[in-house]
Amino acid sequence: MRTMNSICIHSHGGPEVLSYEKLPVPSPKAGEVLIRVHSAGVNPVDWKVREGYLKDMFEYKFPLTLGWDVSGVIEAVGPGVSRLNVKDEVYSRPDLSRNGAYAEYIVVRENEVALKPKSLDHVHAASIPLAALTAWQSLFDTAELKPGQRVLIHAAAGGVGGFAVQLAKWKGAYVIGTASGRNRDYVSGLGADEVIDYQRVPFEDAVQNVDVVFDTMGGDTQERSWKVLKPGGILVSIVSPPEANVQGVRKTFVFVQPNFTQLMEIAWLVDSGKLKTLVEVIMPLSAARRAQELSSEGHVRGKIVLKVD
C-alpha cells in the first residue's frame, strides 16, 4: 500500500491535536481525480474545523486531513472523468466534508477542479480558490453588486478581503476598505477608492450610504455596520449569520461552495492581469501547526501557504 505524509487530526481540539503522520494514498472513484499536491493554502476554516466549530454542519470521519485550498498535478483519474487529464496542472477548493490538502495527495471530485492560472506557480495558485470564491459568491451571486454601487469591505488586506477589493473594482463598484495603517498603501494598490484606518477612526464615522457591506469580521464590526447601509442595502457576512433586525435593509450569510466554472473565470482574471494574489508566509507541510496559529491571530496580509512538494 502506498503511503503519504499528511497533517491530520484524530479528534477536535487545539493545535496540539495536529498530527504529522503517514496515511494511505487515496484512490479516485467514479467522477474523481487524484491530485499530487504541490501546495495547500491555509485558511481560518482549517482551524475552525480542527476546533469543532463546524461539527454540526459536517459528519467528519477521523483521522481527518485538513486544508481545503489546493494546487497540484493530476496523477490519476477515476471512471467517467472527461474534462480533466493526467498531468493537468489544477487548483481547487474541495468539499469541506471530505479529507483536505494538507497531504501529498488528495482525491477531489472533477466538478470541483479547474486548470490553475498559467501565470502562477503552485504556491500562489493554492492561495486563491477558497478566498477568491468566497469573495465572488458573496459580492456577485449574493449581493448582486453592480457598477457604480458603493461597497464597504472589512479587513480588506486579508485573504478574502484582498480578492473582494479587486473583484469589486473590476465590476465597476466604488470600493471602500477597512485596514490598519500599515496596510493602507497595500489596499489602495489593490484598487480601493478609499481606505479607512480602523485603528484611528470608527469606520461608521467615516462612511455612509453604502449599497453593500461585506462582513469578514463578525461581532462588534458586524453590529456597527448596520449604520452605514443605505435603504435597500445589504450586509453579507461570511463569519456569522446576521441577527440584528434592522428595517429597510437586507442581510444574509454566505458559506463558500466549490465551483469550477467560477474558478475558470478567476484563472482568466489572474492570467489577464486583472487579479493578483499575495502570499506573505510560505511554510513546509510539517509546520502546519504554526501556520494555523498565525491564521488564527488574524494579522497576516494576504495568504499563508504550505509547500508540500
Give the CATH number of the domain where residue 234 resides: 3.40.50.720
- Look at residue 258 and tell me if it is in a domain: no
pLDDT (0 to 100) of residue 301:
92
* pLDDT-based confidence at residue 116 (cuts at 50, 70, 90): very high
pLDDT (0 to 100) of residue 296:
94
Q: Are 302 and 277 in contact (CB under 8 A)?
A: yes
pLDDT (0 to 100) of residue 245:
83
Q: Which residue has the cell 468539499?
A: 95
- Look at residue 269 and tell me if it is in a domain: no
pLDDT (0 to 100) of residue 99:
97
Cβ density class 254-284: b for 16+ within 10 Å, e for less: bebebbbebbebbbebbeeeebbbbbebbbe
Same domain, 62 and 114: yes
Render pLDDT for 267-278 as a digit per residue (tens, 0 to 9). 999 999 999 999
Render pLDDT for 125-183 as a digit per residue (tens, 0 to 9). 999 999 999 999 999 999 999 999 999 999 999 999 999 999 999 999 999 999 999 99
Number of domains in the chain: 2
Mean per-residue pLDDT for 54-82? 96
Can you tell me whether residue 44 is helix, strand or coil? helix
Cβ density class 158-176: b for 16+ within 10 Å, e for less: bbbbbbbbbbbbebebbbb
Same domain, 106 and 217: no
Same domain, 119 and 207: no
Q: Which three cell numbers stand for residue 4?
A: 503519504
- The CA-atom distances, in angstroms, between 129 and each of 40, 86, 201 are 10, 21, 33
Same domain, 193 and 225: yes
Mean per-residue pLDDT for 228-256? 95
Say what percent of the chain tops pLDDT 90.
97
Can you tell me whether residue 260 is helix, strand or coil? helix
Question: CB 151: neighbour CB atoms within 10 A?
Answer: 29
End-to-end CA distance of the chain: 20
Same domain, 211 and 298: no
- Look at residue 272 and tell me if it is in a domain: no
d(CA 17, CA 22): 15
Same domain, 68 and 36: yes
Same domain, 157 and 233: yes
pLDDT (0 to 100) of residue 105:
98
- Look at residue 103 and tell me if it is in a domain: yes
List the CATH number of the domain containing 45: 3.90.180.10
Q: Are 72 and 38 in contact (CB under 8 A)?
A: yes
pLDDT (0 to 100) of residue 249:
96
pLDDT (0 to 100) of residue 101:
98
Same domain, 220 and 175: yes
Q: What is the mean pLDDT of the chain?
A: 97
- Look at residue 264 and tell me if it is in a domain: no
Q: Which residue has the cell 482525491?
A: 107
* pLDDT-based confidence at residue 244 (cuts at 50, 70, 90): confident
In the predicted model, is pLDDT for residue 299 greater than 90? no
* pLDDT-based confidence at residue 34 (cuts at 50, 70, 90): very high
Same domain, 13 and 85: yes
Mean per-residue pLDDT for 12-24? 97
What size, in residues, is the chain?
A: 309
Which domain covers residue 240, as residue numbers? 131-253
Q: Give 297's contacts (C-beta < 8 A, 6+ positions apart).
A: none
d(CA 233, CA 248): 8
pLDDT (0 to 100) of residue 298:
86
- The CA-atom distances, in angstroms, between 268 and each of 93, 113, 114, 218, 278 are 17, 15, 11, 31, 17
- Helix axes 44-51 and 288-297, enclosed angle (nearest 10): 100
* pLDDT-based confidence at residue 64 (cuts at 50, 70, 90): very high
d(CA 214, CA 229): 11
pLDDT (0 to 100) of residue 104:
98
- Look at residue 268 and tell me if it is in a domain: no
Cα of 68 vs its chain's centroid, Å: 9
Same domain, 118 and 195: no
- Look at residue 35 and tell me if it is in a domain: yes
Same domain, 101 and 161: no
- Check residue 25 and report its DSSP letter: P
Same domain, 8 and 111: yes
pLDDT (0 to 100) of residue 49:
97
- Look at residue 189 and tell me if it is in a domain: yes
Q: Give 57's contacts (C-beta < 8 A, 6+ positions apart).
A: none
d(CA 271, CA 4): 32
Render pLDDT for 171-229 as a digit per residue (tens, 0 to 9). 999 999 999 999 999 999 999 999 999 999 999 999 999 999 999 999 999 999 999 99
d(CA 68, CA 265): 19
